Chains A and B, each alone.
Chain A
Amino acid sequence: MTKQIGIYDFETDQQIVRDMTPEEIAEHELGVEVDIQLQQEAASKESERAALLSKLGITADEAKLLLG
């Protein structure tokens, strides 16, 4: 599916929507990669947190109490 960019020009008060250029698509894909990395890091941290809580045998709320 073709990626599109919306461009609103505040000088003319006009919105256009057009297909992205190859350069814009490459830049956009870079952002998507960053996004995937962020989600993976978040999921990894959550897994590590759950594993640690399980190892300690306490709940997340109990862990909060411990940390003050």
Chain B
Amino acid sequence: MAAGWPTKVTYADGDVFAASDINDTNGTLNYINPTSATDNQVLTRDNTAPGKVKWGNSPANTLTTTGDLYYASAANTPARLGIGSTNQVLTVSGGLPVWAAGSSTFTKIGSTVSFSNVASQAFDNVFSSTYSTYWINIESMFVATAGSSWQLQLRYAGPTTQTTGYYSNSFNMPYTGSNASVQVNNGAQAVLQNNTNGSGNSIGGGNFWFYGVNGVSKDPYFTGSIVNSAAASAVLFNGGTSGSARTYTGFLLKGGANITGVVSVYGVS
């Protein structure tokens, strides 16, 4: 055997095997103490000392938290990326993976909200700096009393409902008969639509947009459209404003009578 290879060891009764009994090709110690490792470390080549091995991190002890992703923070450098928030998407920043809000997309916020026969329905902690614009999808609406209007208010920290200073105009366009607008000038709420049909009380569905509710103090504005199946009309909710600059966090829907509906909210970035 060539010089420098592990020394032949002869055991006798009572001998204790020690690190010094093993030499590498350079005659230096090449002993790894198992107790010096932490959980889930693995043996790997020591590139700073050719011919030696060392304890190194494995995926198991790098990924410390549920949802962690394994990636390279630099060449040959494994790292973990903690899980992002709900509805965030994986994207790239500075050549590295990061979680961020989806860009130029509709991102559903929370779950679809169903409410039944309530006087009003609040939607809290909706608005934040995460999105610049919000789209409210009214999948269905129903007012318990025929001919009632559908109304909108905004909510801010507290949460508190703003009950003054609204401005809006809703243009009701029936399939037959005359068009009519409903104006709100410094009123207690904006009116999404005024159901002037006495024979029906349901609203097929619709949607509207919020602008200027992106986590900073602004006087926001809103606009949208609704189709009222029972009143046989299309409603252009020309829109309005809250009339006051605030950091709004949510909104509230109500009617002239109890309301039932299904609404989902989307952030648009």
Contact = CB atoms under 8 A, between A and B. Distances in A.
Interface of A: 3-11, 13, 15, 17, 20, 24-25, 27-28, 30-32, 34-36, 38-39, 42-43, 45-46, 49, 60
Residue of B119, B196, B257 ringed by the most chain A CB atoms within 10 A: B119
A42 B113 contact: no
Contacts of B111: 13
B214 interface: no
Interface-central residue, A5, A6, A17, by most chain B CB under 10 Å:
A6
Contacts, number: 97
A8 B122 contact: yes
B123 A8 contact: yes
A7 B118 CA distance: 10
Interface residues of B, number: 38
B124 A7 contact: yes
Nearest to A64: B178
Contacts of B151: 31, 34-35
Contacts of B119: 3-5, 20, 25, 28
Nearest to A12: B125
B182 interface: yes
B149 A9 contact: no
A10 B123 contact: yes
A28 B119 CA distance: 8
Given A32-B256, A38-B149, A8 B120 contact: no
Interface string B105-142: 00001110111011111111110000000000000000
A36 B196 contact: no
B254 A6 contact: no
Nearest to B149: A35
Contact of A35 (B109, B115, B117, B255): B255
Interface string B163-196: 1000000000000011010100001110100101
B125 A30 contact: no
B189 A6 contact: no
Given A27-B161, A35-B148, A8 B113 contact: yes
A15 B113 contact: yes
B206 interface: no
Contacts of A45: 180
Given A8-B122, A38-B149, A38-B182, A13 B110 contact: yes
B120 A6 contact: yes
Contacts of B118: 4-6, 17
Given A4-B119, A42-B194, A10 B256 contact: no
